[in-house]
Amino acid sequence: MFSPLRRMLLVSALLLPAMLMPAQTKTLRIAAAADLQPVLPTLVHNFEKSSGAKVEVSYASSATLATQILNGAPYDLFLAANLAFPQKVVAANLAEESAPVTYAQGSLVLWAHHGLFHHGLTMQSLTSPTVHRIAVANPVHAPYGAAAMAAIQSLGLKPALQPKLVFAENIAQAAQFGQSGNADCALISKTLAITKTMQQAGRFVAVPVSTYSLILQGAVVLRNASDKQPAIDFLRYLQSPAGRNLLATGGLVPPAQ
């Protein structure tokens, strides 16, 4: 039925995925919070060069990653955007450390489209009738979303702003809602706001730190990691002066001691 040529093509097509798989090198699998998306690739690249390990990163909201890890996802290192989610992993006996390691401190900013406000941009500007939609990360899934709601609440703006809020799956989607024009403003992380795409589409201003609790980003090495050493090394690198400098250029400062 199949000519020899067709048979050969069919067999090679079926074997292609296997042939394309690289030889098994040590792969460090990192589960990273969405707010790290702009800044982690550089750190990963440097680490790959210096250590020879291969690194794969999965970005999602901290809640998504915690849920996956608690249900057996094969990550080696969990870099979250708060301490509560890694704490859950510790409580489930899935972490190497007895408490999350704080690797950075993030900050919340208010981002708005260019041309939306010609005078100063403040949280109060959000009450203006020209603002129709404000994108915020889901406060249950994303620590920056929780911070955003806390800031709105403590400034007494919740009644005025509630009808305008839309909830994104994670902080990156909140930024994307803003950048695509579907939302006029977004409450996002500084890391995302300083990226070229976001700077081209709008401008941002820091949300007063007194209005939300410190965003301390915690990390844990996972007990079920296939090889813990690269994970430990990467975490150490994040906390080294070189790592801290790179994080700082991405808006993530060393945690206030």
Record the tokens describing residue 195, joined without a space.
């990226």
Q: Are strands 202-206 and 108-113 parallel, antiparallel or unpaired?
A: antiparallel
Site size toward another protein, by CB under 8 A: 22
Q: How many CB atoms lie within 10 A of CB 68?
A: 16
Asked if residue 132 binds another protein (CB under 8 A), the reply is: yes
Indicate the residue among 37 and 64 with the shorter CB distance to another protein.
64
Pick the binder of another protein from 57, 169, 189, 212 (CB under 8 A). 169
- Candidates 8-16, 62-70, 228-236, 237-245 — which segment interacts with another protein by CB under 8 A? 62-70
Instruction: Provide the strand spans (E) within the chain.
Output: 27-33, 54-60, 77-79, 101-106, 108-113, 134-137, 165-168, 185-189, 202-206, 215-221
DSSP 8-state code for residue 126? G
Indicate the residue among 88 and 244 with the shorter CB distance to another protein.
88
Indicate the residue among 169 and 247 with the shorter CB distance to another protein.
169
Residues 29-48 that bind another protein (CB under 8 A): none
Asked if residue 199 binds another protein (CB under 8 A), the reply is: no
Asked if residue 182 binds another protein (CB under 8 A), the reply is: yes
Element (H, E) at 88: helix 84-91
Indicate the residue among 4 and 159 with the shorter CB distance to another protein.
159
Asked if residue 208 binds another protein (CB under 8 A), the reply is: no
